[in-house]
Chains A and B, each alone.
Chain A
Amino acid sequence: ELKVEQNPLFLSMQEGKNYTIYCNYSTTSDRLYWYRQDPGKSLESLFVLLSNGAVKQEGRLMASLDTKARLSTLHITAAVHDLSATYFCAVDDGTGGGADGLTFGKGTHLIIQP
């Protein structure tokens, strides 16, 4: 059974600081996704990482994937208040051809304070 663990689960940080959210998973996979959820809203896709060493960047967020370590990171550079949200990583275990859904971590609730 695939398990996906995120840490930290809660993070309060100041604007302008850098920080990293970690996502570990338990079985071999080279397909990992990051989502953002604002309070009371739906989930929005941020990044799709499909191979070992993949790196994607969008604004102040950068995601990477190390399939050998079964680890993905979401790095926040010079945080701003607008990045306050809950961030989820999700993994495809690859057994269903990509059609049998994703396994999600519990989410990292990020608060960025002025």
Chain B
Amino acid sequence: NAGVTQTPKFQVLKTGQSMTLQCAQDMNHNSMYWYRQDPGMGLRLIYYSASEGTTDKGEVPNGYNVSRLNKREFSLRLESAAPSQTSVYFCASSEQFFSPLHFGNGTRLTVT
């Protein structure tokens, strides 16, 4: 049982380049999330999707877009990468109502 799978694991971009981070879950969860983790900052929510067909902004959405492609997949796109987007990105999923988040293994992104 794979759980939450993120690709790629590592990525280096130049300022202004674009890329899409992929996330898929096989637990039939309704809700999916993208967080970024920066040293000393904990995890901050970028976007979330409460159910298939819906997406909403989290705490730090600027510079990002998302797509909930189907119930399994939730992608995060950086249209024009900036050094401030250097971070570790985690995708997560959950059943609604009181269940914990299940996290992927993360994507370590460096923007030079």
Contact = CB atoms under 8 A, between A and B. Distances in A.
B56 A100 contact: yes
Interface residues of B, number: 29
A99 B51 contact: yes
A103 B48 CA distance: 13
Nearest to B54: A99
Interface residues of A, number: 26
A interface SS class: loop
B45 interface: yes
20 contacts: A4-B42, A33-B100, A33-B101, A35-B100, A41-B105, A42-B90, A42-B104, A43-B43, A43-B101, A45-B101, A90-B43, A96-B50, A98-B98, A102-B45, A102-B101, A103-B45, A104-B35, A104-B42, A105-B42, A107-B42
A75 interface: no
A45 B99 CA distance: 10
Contact of A43 (B31, B90, B94): B90
B31 A99 contact: yes
Given A44-B103, A105-B42, 17 more contacts: A9-B40, A41-B105, A43-B43, A43-B90, A43-B101, A98-B96, A98-B97, A98-B98, A98-B99, A99-B30, A99-B50, A99-B97, A100-B50, A100-B56, A101-B35, A101-B48, A102-B45
